[in-house]
Structures are given as C-alpha cells and as structure tokens.
Amino acid sequence: MKKYYQPEIETAPREKILEIQNEKLVKQVKHVWDNVPYYRRLMEEKGLTPDDIKSVDDIYKLPFLSKADLRDTYPYGMLGTDLKDCVRIHSTSGTTGKRVVAFYTQHDLDLWSDCCARAIVAAGGSEEDVVQVCYGYGLFTGGSGLHDGSHKVGCLTLPMSSGNTERQIQFMMDLESTIICCTPSYAAYIGESLKEMGYKPEDNKLKAGIFGAEPWTEEMRQEIEKSLGIKAYDIYGLTETSGPGVAYECEEQKGMHINEDHFYAEIIDPDTGEVLPEGSVGELVFTALDKEAFPLLRYRTRDLCVLSRKPCSCGRTHVRMAKPMGRSDDMLIIRGVNVFPSQIETVLLKEGYTPNYQIVLDRERNTDTFDIYVEVAPDQFSDLMGQIQKMEKGLESAMRTMLGIGPKIHLVPPKTITRSEGKAVRVIDKRKLH
Amino acid sequence: MAITQLSVFLMNQPGALVDAIKSISEAGINIRAMSIAEANDFGILRIIVSDSDAVGRLLSEQYLFSRTEVVAAQMNDRSGALYPILVVLNEANINIEYMYAFTGSGPEEAYVVFRVNDVKTAEEVLNANGIRTLSDENLKI
C-alpha cells in the first residue's frame, strides 16, 4: 500500500520545499500584479512592485487580504484569469454580506484534488478502498473536494452528499465503505444511529474517516473512533484557499500537514499584523502559491493556531498546523456553517424585533445546539400563547433563510438577557471545543 | 362594557411569579381572578384585579404586559350552568381563545371569563339572552 500520494513532494527536504515556494511565489506575485488590479493597487499603496518579492523571506512586505476585501470585490474583483478559463465556482456557507465566491480553472481543481488525494492516502486510502463522501455536494467545497481527491487516488467513490442517515448506513453496509468523509458531528451522529440500529463497531468495514469543516475536540475524536471502529483524521481548508485539503492529518494525528508546495502559511499577530516566530499562537495567513483563478496572497483566515516544523515520524516534511483554537473575529461555526452575530442582528431588525438577543451554543449528542433568546418589544406582546409561538416560528424561518441553518428561537421579556457590566452578552458558547 | 384583563409576560422559572405578585400584594389590590398559560421558556400571567389602572402603573416599570378586553359572564355556581352560555356564544359563531372562572361574593355566584375574537358581539348575545356581564366598575371591591 502506498504511504504517500506524491512522495517526491510530501517528503521533500526542507530546502527543496523552500525552493519550490520561492519560485512559485515570485511567479504568483507577478501573475496577481498583472491580472488583479485590486491587489496591484494595494501593492502600489505600499510602494511595492513584483521586483520587491524575490523569495518567501520578502512575503511580509505584501499587503493582507481579508474577508472584507472579498466582499468589496464580489464577485469578479479577485479573478486572476479570464472567466472563459474558469471551469468551476464554489461559495462559502455564509450568506448576505459575507458571501465569498471562489473560481477555479482546471489547473486549480487539479491541484486541489491532489491535496485531497494526499489526505486520503495519508488516511490509508488506495484503489482498494470504497470512499463514502457524505459532505454536502454543491456550492460547498466539502463534497467535491473529497470526491475529486478520491477519484485521483482511484478509490471507488460513493457520492452520497449529506443527510438521509438511513440510506448512508444501508450503503455503508451493503457496499462495504472503508473510508468515510464528512463533518465530525455527522460522523458522531452516524455512529449513534448505528448503535441504535443494533450494529456493533466491528459490523462495518470502515477503517478510517476524514473529518473537517467544523471545530472538534480530541474527546470527540476518541468517541467517533470508538463508535465507528475507525481511525479519525482531521482535514482543514477554506473556500477562499480552495476547500478542504489545505492541510490534513497523517497517522501520527499530531497536527495537520499543510500542503506547502501550494499554500504558504504564516502566523501573525492579529492586532499588529506582524509575523510571529514558529510556535507562537496567532492568526493563520495563507498565500496560494500557484492557484490561477482565485490567487489570494496573504489571506487572513481569522483562525488562531500554531505551526510546528518539528520532523514528523510519518516522513512528511511539510509544516504542521495545530487544530485552530479559536477565531480572531466574532464568526461562529455552527454545525459547519459560518454564522456572524451581525447576520442575526440584521434579521431581527428586519423582522421588527429589538437587537437584544443572546446566542447560546451547546453540544448534545455531539451535534451543535443553536438557541437564540430574543427580547420582545411591548408592541409585539400578545396575551395569546399561539400568537407568540407563531412569532417564534416566523423568526426561526427568517433566520434559517438568512443563515442556512435554523436556530431555536426563544422570545423572552425585555431586560431579561444577561448583561455583563451593562453590555449584553451576545454569545454563550458552552461547547468547550478548545 | 367588558372587563380589563392584564396579561403579563413572565419567564417560566422560579421566582418570576412571586416577584410579579409582590407589588400588587403590597399595594393592597385584590386579584379577583387569574390564570397562567405556560410554554417552555415563558408564561403569560392573566389577572383580573379590582383596579387595573393602578396595577398597570405598578407593573409598567418592570414588566411587559398588555391590557386585554375580556367578557365576564355571571352564572350560578351549580351543575349545568355553563352549558347554555357556551351555546349562546356558539350560535353567534364566537371563537373562545381561552377562558377561566372565579366565584363571586354572593351565594352560588360565579363568573366565567372569556377571551373571544369579538367582545362586542359576545356581550350583546349574552345580554340578549339574559346573561349578565361585568364591567370594570363591578370589580372595584
């Protein structure tokens, strides 16, 4: 069985990786300068030209990009190629105001699927395997990322998409899936469903799972491993950089190897933007070294994390990132969906409510629970119970439309939401993920 | 006519009711009738008091409440007395959202409080059928 998908790259000596990065970065900066006027202007504002970037040692000079830039340039402002050269679009789960639309040329899809293929092989995958992909297919990158990676490896690919757990389990059993790819909370849910149906962990043929798109804990990993009888691997990525596969775990399960020949990672101080030395906690920043259509340089992920260049016993030489330990902005990841409190505020005001609310997140049976407490204004109050419950349902549906996931709404009397030093506490996250 | 019910939005948790009743108790205002509708997180306290204006002032500082017009029909406190009242309302196609009852100060005297979709018609048909309904004035005991 192959241990690596692209051994010459995955185990390349550090100097070789650096050489690849230097060469690609110089080329990429030129590509962006020539094709993305928005970024060129940012460079010009700093008095930079492509000649100032001779190697990754110069990368600190380049301006950052953030979600706000992507919003400002929506939809075509970050395009690095002609639209006719693009073959695919994906989009983030976030909705109004926070939408990110990413473009891919065939070259971009190929390098992305290579990244996912590396992750699958690192999890023990080969052409002997049956890979059940139960990430959502569609605009979300999860489904197609792992799907295409699975094809590259030559696995028999089951494009299940998410949901319909009964059918997932039937196919898993009948077609003897050996690798499962989905969000960790869905994996935990499948594990519980199997148990309820009377199956033991050894009754299925699964050996590994590749889980990502939402935060999960070490405890959750152990639980999933036990309930499904598998080894659970973490995978990291974001639509802005391509999708899952930017980094992935090997059998060591000690951090995720970043595909450094395609993505250059930095850790910065989120307040000053200063690059921090290895081992420091800071915000993760990625530069896509060879993507053509959506070539983001120094994109701030808002994920707080640590990098390690310590050699890994798996033989891979690529830098490892720890599980992100939080966010440097107020974004929440709920059941794999990005949610900003500002979106919730927008819905409340639009529906005629006061912006006095509190989000409470918890985990029940390894799935996020999402509750929003909303204070009712005097003119909205009714003595009829049915009327209030109808308001709750109406608000739930408006939230679902805006956020992509449905919270449970609780209407409460005015001035009942916890205030800390006069300021309302907007988010109570009891999930204890970090 | 009709009478005023105060509907108070409370959290469904220990302490919520006792706090709400405290000020009414201290002001020496009589609660003639009450009921609570409960949901998971909240409850709606519905009270008929001897002086709804005074209680409204007391509650307004701390509570979300509304004034609701309800029909209080007088009946005898004995078996079979409710039925004809409901028949009258039904024949007038009145929908009852909720109801509760309290006893009066006289012997065999009881009142049923109806929250209906059409207070005016409800009172008219009840009165036309010889059933007495109360006004706020009647509550000031």
- Give B114's contacts (C-beta < 8 A, 6+ positions apart): B70, B71, B72, B73, B89, B96, B99, B122
CA distance to A27, A248, A276, A404, per residue, from A127 (Å): 35, 19, 41, 36
Q: What is the pLDDT of residues B29-45, one digit of tens each?
A: 999 999 999 988 899 99
CB A245 within 8 A of CB A112: yes
CATH class of A333-429: alpha beta
Say if residue A420 is exposed, middle or buried (CB neighbours under 10 Å; 0-12, 13-18, 19+): exposed
Q: For the domain made up of A7-329, give the CATH fold.
A: Rossmann fold (3.40.50)
Give one DSSP letter per residue of A161-216, joined into a string. Answer: -S--HHHHHHHHHHTT--EEEE-HHHHHHHHHHHHHTT--GGGS---EEEEESS--
Closest-CA distance of chain A to residue B58, Å: 16
Residues 235-254, chain A, touching B (beta carbon < 8 A): none
Output the pLDDT for position A79. 97
Output the pLDDT for position B141. 57
Rounded Cα–Cα distance for residues A86 and A383 (Å): 57
Chain A residues close to B37, C-beta within 8 Å: 385
Q: Do β-strands A427-429 and A357-364 pair in parallel, antiparallel, or remain unpaired?
A: parallel
Task: Select the residue of B10, B44, B66 nearest A385 (Cβ to Cβ).
Answer: B44
Residues 41-80, chain B, touching A (beta carbon < 8 A): 41-42, 44, 46, 63-66, 68
Interchain CB distance below 8 Å, B41 and A410: yes
Instruction: Show me where the domains of chain B are located.
Output: 3-68, 69-139
Output the pLDDT for position A95. 46
Rounded Cα–Cα distance for residues A304 and A326 (Å): 5
Tokens describing residue B30? 């009589």
Closest-CA distance of chain B to residue A386, Å: 9
Residue A360 touches chain B, beta carbons under 8 Å: no
Rounded Cα–Cα distance for residues A164 and A168 (Å): 6
Map residue A261 onto helix, strand or coil: coil
Rounded Cα–Cα distance for residues B122 and B133 (Å): 10
Residues 2-41, chain B, touching A (beta carbon < 8 A): 5, 7, 9-11, 37, 39-41
Count of CB pairs separated by less than 8 Å, A with B:
46
How many alpha carbons fall within 13 Å on the CB side of residue A216?
Answer: 28
ipTM of the shown complex: 0.83
Low-confidence ranges of chain A (pLDDT < 50): 95-96
| Site from A375, A381, A383 to mutate, B interface, most B CB atoms within 10 angstroms | A383
Q: Do β-strands A130-133 and A156-159 pair in parallel, antiparallel, or remain unpaired?
A: parallel
Residue A65 carries which side chain, given as an amino acid letter?
Answer: L
- Please provide residue A205's backbone torsions phi and psi, each rounded to the nearest 5 degrees: -100, 5
Output the pLDDT for position B21. 94
Q: What is the pLDDT of residues B66-114, one digit of tens each?
A: 999 999 999 998 899 999 999 999 999 999 999 999 988 787 889 999 9
Q: Do β-strands A208-212 and A231-237 pair in parallel, antiparallel, or remain unpaired?
A: parallel
Map residue B102 onto helix, strand or coil: strand
Output the pLDDT for position A434. 54
Cis status, amide bond into A295, omega within 30 of 0: no
Domain B3-68 CATH superfamily: VC0802-like (3.30.2130.10)
How many alpha carbons fall within 13 Å on the CB side of residue B50?
Answer: 10
**Which CATH architecture group holds B69-139?**
2-Layer Sandwich (3.30)
Output the pLDDT for position A419. 61
Interchain CB distance below 8 Å, A378 and B7: no
Q: What does the DSSP 8-state code read for residue A136? A: P
Closest-CA distance of chain A to residue B107, Å: 31
